[in-house]
A and B are shown apart, each in its own frame.
Chain A
């Protein structure tokens, strides 16, 4: 129930994604139904069962020179974060260094910040055979191989500190990591800070890149990735009956959130309002989602309850929609539970059909897509939707974007471990 409480609005957006790193081309590609998936070019992936991904092709690499060493040392995850965060901050129109008031920072980041050589080199020397392992050899090799700032790279906290340093922020700084729901969770946390009065302004977002030898291997080992290597652009097909797993993407997305009157006082351009957030946990298993989507249902309901909104008022859902057999089926069922007889008429679309799964960064970049959906009153499509699955029977905005009158748009993110997060935006 909203009333005299503090309201949270979005006043800045910035991203680095497989579909581009400026808002215009990103939106244009998204609505055109362009697939960013292709054969992996970054390294020789011929030894893997999955050899395709949605790699970032263009982004402002020169900007990394200006970033503090703590940010640059964190590889792509660091530099994507730096570029997207800077874009979002500049987009907001807030002063480059806001020194008079504390600004909060919530960052979600993946853990692929140790180079291949740093780890694999030492590991290849430490075991003479599969049954033996020599700790002293590993550690001696690591002393030579570890790049600087190793202890800082142990967790994303240092990246958050590096970004706060670069922007001169003096407010609360937090790094969160709930895997594939973390991007939405970061927005949830920043919105809560503003609503509860810790700060009036917060920069929040997420960055990840697991398109590297160890990252790709870890997902292949779980059998989670599509093996449609011969047709990369058709591999990510959320809700389609022939889906066979997700496609890895990468990138970063940041949003500037502000307390409403603070934004109005400085005549900021307001993209949308964060009407409600919701976070819950399946508390079931580490990979299998709860069979009834308990956590997903709770997260969606909480976001709507905080906004004081009924399911019938939701204009569209930006689904988690990974293109795995399990997620898409259970997310569909959860949406049915929450929306009841309105479920069949709520458009549900998955950006992952085009840009793949950005893992930790997914929720943040998809939140940006959801905000742009409200701004442009156009829902991006779920591409590659060709075969109806009887267990997935909603309106997935197949293959073509759609103009619509949308006041409220919901974005979902779910993760291994059963974390579920939703954010509801209002025009």
Chain B
């Protein structure tokens, strides 16, 4: 019999929202997956990208439409997915007054295209060395809203504003594990009585110039890409993408009492740093710790969802835990093959997809979510689903 550890409060997942390169809502994503589809990949400047469909329209999700001009891509995904999750959970208005918002996000794209235009014309490239010249161009030509658009905490701020959520609000930027960690931190917050309700997950857009060139520099594209925009003869398995996976977490008694649909209970959370850049060692420590806290053994896990970034070139595979850390687990799912790898959002997107598909299939399962980042950081959660609400 598996049980949640200790006497602290139990935490349920009662709402899901999703925007990914595979679909602009959860139903769309699940439909694509059931047809065996993959996100469309484009090649830009020699690197692959899987972007959210151009048809994605964030406007219906912004209660205050004026905020859109301040919202970068990951903010738009976050607000959309958060609104979907909130509606899915059936929570409205004043019920959100004290809700926590904890989002894991990636870095900003710094609006480099707008910065370029602000500096132009600069044929002698004076701005690169002449700070007064740079200052003059930027002070007249760059939107004053630049900082407000690029500050990464704005995703969780906008979610709070749009949902009216006045509780603890945090932005986690622990690299690619940020989304999974945000879910774990929200779980820890609720179980320790720091909140009764949390909107949490991850949002990222790794399709920016800065991200893609950073990935290229790190050698994350197997084939090294192409010179231009055509598909190379050897297609890399690492496709940077974007999106947001958002979940509503609640303390269990409240969820049960109001008759909420319970996708799963979070049973434990762990995050470990076992050594620099050693993703495999960190992940093994993290999994062991999460299992111990859950009171599970490895054999109790039915399904693992992995969100793991490849290793930097020149480093052994151990750096990125590419070898399975749980050999006895029957089913190991990696949604980045279908939806692309959405960096900080990857763990949350994976979990939402998994819970959505298990719910659709009415499957009772013990799940683990594993997430590993570029510097080897690892996070893990244990969850169990109960479609018949046998709590």
Which residues of A line the B interface, CB within 8 A?
A: 43-49, 68, 70, 102, 105, 111, 114, 116-117, 119-133, 135-136, 138-140, 142-143, 146, 148, 150-158, 160-162, 164-165, 169-179, 182, 185, 188-189, 192-193, 195-196, 198, 213-214, 217-223, 279-287, 294-295, 298, 415-419
Contacts and interface: CB of A to CB of B under 8 A. Distances in A.
A126 B144 contact: no
B209 A135 contact: yes
B118 A175 contact: no
A156 B148 CA distance: 18
Nearest to B173: A155
A416 B149 CA distance: 11
A154 B106 contact: yes
Given A150-B210, A192-B194, A214-B138, 12 more contacts: A47-B139, A70-B375, A111-B108, A136-B45, A143-B213, A146-B213, A152-B175, A165-B273, A192-B188, A218-B146, A280-B169, A418-B161
17 contacts: A119-B115, A120-B128, A126-B112, A138-B113, A142-B210, A148-B217, A154-B211, A157-B175, A164-B276, A178-B171, A221-B144, A280-B167, A281-B160, A282-B166, A286-B157, A416-B147, A416-B154
B344 A155 contact: yes
B252 interface: no
Interface stretch (B19-27, B129-137, B241-249): B129-137
From B117, B141, B147, B373, residue with most partner A Cβ within 10 Å: B147
> Could you say which of A105, A123, A127, A219 has the most chain B C-beta atoms within 10 Å of its C-beta?
A123
A401 B59 CA distance: 52
Contact of B173 (A129, A172, A176): A176
Contacts of A116: 128
Contacts of A161: 175, 273, 276-277, 373, 375-377
Contacts of B106: 154-155
A21 to B, nearest CB: 26
B178 interface: yes
B126 to A, nearest CB: 7
B271 A173 contact: yes
A222 B168 contact: no
A362 B186 CA distance: 25
Contacts of B8: 196
A222 B276 contact: no
Contacts of A189: 170, 185
B157 A195 contact: no
Contact of B217 (A146, A171, A221): A146
Nearest to B167: A280
A192 to B, nearest CB: 6
Nearest to B113: A133
A287 B125 contact: no
A176 B178 CA distance: 9
Nearest to A136: B45
Contacts of B215: 151
A286 B151 CA distance: 11
B214 A220 contact: no
A392 B120 CA distance: 45
A47 B135 contact: yes
A7 B142 CA distance: 49
A284 B154 CA distance: 12
Contacts of B136: 47
Interface in B4-36: 8
Given A154-B107, A281-B166, A120 B119 contact: yes
B287 interface: no
A281 B168 contact: yes
A185 B70 CA distance: 24
B272 A162 contact: no
Interface string B53-84: 00000000000000100100000000000000
A282 B164 CA distance: 9
A133 B116 contact: yes
A171 B272 contact: yes
B217 A286 contact: no
Contacts of B120: 127-130, 132
Interface residues of B, number: 100
A124 B174 contact: no
A176 B171 contact: yes
B203 interface: no
A45 B70 CA distance: 28
Contact of A174 (B157, B181, B192): B181
A170 B211 contact: no
Which one of B110, B115, B170, B211 has the greatest number of beta carbons of chain A within 10 Å? B170
Contact of B115 (A46, A123, A152, A198): A123
Given A129-B121, A146-B214, A157-B173, A283 B134 contact: no
B342 interface: no
A58 to B, nearest CB: 24
A44 B127 CA distance: 13
A151 B218 contact: yes
Contact of B128 (A124, A174, A283): A124
A157 B177 contact: yes
A174 B151 contact: no
Nearest to B191: A196
B255 interface: no
Contacts of A162: 276, 375
A171 B146 CA distance: 36
A45 B131 contact: yes
A298 B141 CA distance: 39
Contacts of B277: 161, 165
A198 B165 contact: no
List the 3 closest A-B pairs by CB distance, nearest first.
A417-B157, A157-B175, A47-B135
B142 A217 contact: yes
Interface in B266-286: 270-277, 285
Residue from A138, A142, A173 with most neighbouring chain B CB atoms (10 Å):
A173
B122 interface: yes
A287 B166 contact: no
Contacts of A173: 174, 271, 273, 377
A218 B170 CA distance: 23
Contact of B169 (A152, A192, A281): A281
A295 to B, nearest CB: 7
A179 B171 CA distance: 9
A123 B173 contact: no
B168 A279 contact: yes
Contacts of B128: 116-117, 120-121, 124
B153 interface: yes
Contact of A150 (B152, B214, B274): B214
A164 B119 CA distance: 39
A151 B276 contact: no
B125 A121 contact: yes
A140 B50 CA distance: 21
Given A139-B213, A155-B152, A283-B160, A124 B132 contact: no
A20 to B, nearest CB: 28
Contacts of B105: 155
A6 B260 CA distance: 33
A283 to B, nearest CB: 4
